[in-house]
Amino acid sequence: MSLLSRFLAPPILSRDEELAAAVEGKVVLVTGASHGIGEALALRLGRVGARVLLAARSQDRLEEVCLAIRSAGGQAWSYPLDLRDSEQIDGVAEELLQKHPQIHAVVHNAGKSIRRSLRKSLHRAHDFERCMGVNYLGPVRLQLALLPSMLECGGGHIVNVSSVSVRLAPAAHWAAYHCSKTAFDLWLGAAVPELRQKNIACTSIYFGLVHTRMSAPTKEYQNMPGQTPEEAASVVCRALARRPRVLQPWWLGPAHWLSAPLEPFTEWIQS
């Protein structure tokens, strides 16, 4: 981790003992668990004794991650899932609840990122549909199906793996991604007052750049300071252990308040 990366996103250390106290023996669902942050998180959860449910589109990769968890003495189950497919979401949710009646925590980590100019999007409305499906509509549908389980077991924890972009002024070329990530963030925020009454904690984690397979196609990001998947997974582990409402880089609070008055200037710069 470079000095600049450490400055922008200081490492958040989460001790295995603290994490185990929160999740050992409990059922934790991680979406987007076949690569990147989700994979690193699933491996860590398995190591401390959580019963890990892994969901992602890639069945082969899910099985590899499950095998790694089991080989280390952990418990893991894989569920192929495309969050753009409503029928599959309903089917997987039903199967999850049949096999694991009590789901204690859900980490909404799956995501789809698209960087494309408006001019190149004129005949690509499906880009927006895909982003909304993976980043918003799919997670909402899945969470609604799993909420009764949390209510019946007296509480739970919902973790939203989000982006600093939802707290900042809009950026050119990122419309599909930003809108969809912001939509789920606002949905969860609106649900917090009701969920809190039922002992269901909600955490939104606003990450800066994390060097994953999803960010790799954007060449501008390749040499920029950012976190590794393992470092980001450690932040999610801190969230699961302590259940804060928000986790974000130290600079995001001031940047959020400045982004509104500076928006005309940032629009001018980007144009």
Q: Which two tokens stand for residue 194?
A: 């009701």
* pLDDT at position 255: 86
* pLDDT at position 114: 85
User: So which residues are the catalytic ones?
Assistant: 177
Helix locations, the chain, DSSP H: 3-8, 16-23, 36-47, 59-71, 86-99, 125-132, 138-152, 175-197, 229-242, 252-270
As a whole number of angstroms, the distance between CA 8 and CA 2 comes to 10
| Tens place of pLDDT per residue across the chain (271 aa) | 566 666 776 777 779 999 999 999 999 999 999 999 999 999 999 999 999 999 999 999 999 999 999 999 999 999 999 999 999 999 999 999 999 999 999 999 999 988 887 777 788 889 999 999 999 999 999 999 999 999 988 999 999 999 999 999 878 888 999 999 999 999 999 999 999 999 999 999 999 999 876 665 656 666 677 899 999 999 999 999 999 999 999 989 988 888 766 666 565 566 5
As a whole number of angstroms, the distance between CA 268 and CA 271 comes to 5
**Other CB atoms within 10 Å distance of the CB of residue 127:** 17
Residue pair 163/106 in contact by the 8 Å Cβ criterion:
no
As a whole number of angstroms, the distance between CA 1 and CA 122 comes to 39
The closest alpha carbon to 159, from 101, 113, 110, belongs to 110
Query: Which domains, ranges and CATH numbers included, belong to the chain?
Result: 3-270 (3.40.50.720)
As a whole number of angstroms, the distance between CA 201 and CA 261 comes to 32
Residue pair 211/228 in contact by the 8 Å Cβ criterion:
yes
**Other CB atoms within 10 Å distance of the CB of residue 190:** 9
Pairing of strands 200-207, 156-163: parallel
Q: Which residue has the tokens 């990366």?
A: 5
As a whole number of angstroms, the distance between CA 200 and CA 68 comes to 30
Pairing of strands 27-31, 51-56: parallel
